[in-house]
Amino acid sequence: MKKLSLTTLLFLAVSTCSWSQQYKTAVGIKGGYPSLGGLDIKHFLRPGFAVEGTIGGFSNTLLISALAEVQKSLPEPTGLDWYVGVGPTLGVTSGTYILSVNGVVGVDYTFQDFPLNLSLDTGPVLSLSPIGFGWGGGLAIRYAFK
CATH number of the domain within which 85 lies: 2.40.160.20
The pLDDT tens digits for 49-107 are: 999 999 998 888 999 999 999 999 998 888 999 999 999 999 999 889 999 999 999 99
State phi, psi for 58 to the nearest 5 degrees.
-155, 155
| 124 domain residue, yes or no | yes
| 9 domain residue, yes or no | no
Q: Where are the beta strands (DSSP E) in the chain?
A: 25-33, 38-46, 49-58, 61-73, 80-93, 96-110, 116-129, 131-145
| 125 domain residue, yes or no | yes
| 95 domain residue, yes or no | yes
Which domain covers residue 51, as residue numbers? 21-145
CA distance 53 to 132: 22
Q: Looking at the chain, list the stretches that DSSP marks H as alpha helix, in order from N- to C-terminal side.
A: 2-16
Confidence of residue 132 (pLDDT cuts 50, 70, 90): very high
Least confident of 7-11, 77-81, 124-128: 7-11
Predicted structure pTM score: 0.82
pLDDT at residue 7 greater than cutoff 70: no
CA distance 114 to 139: 19
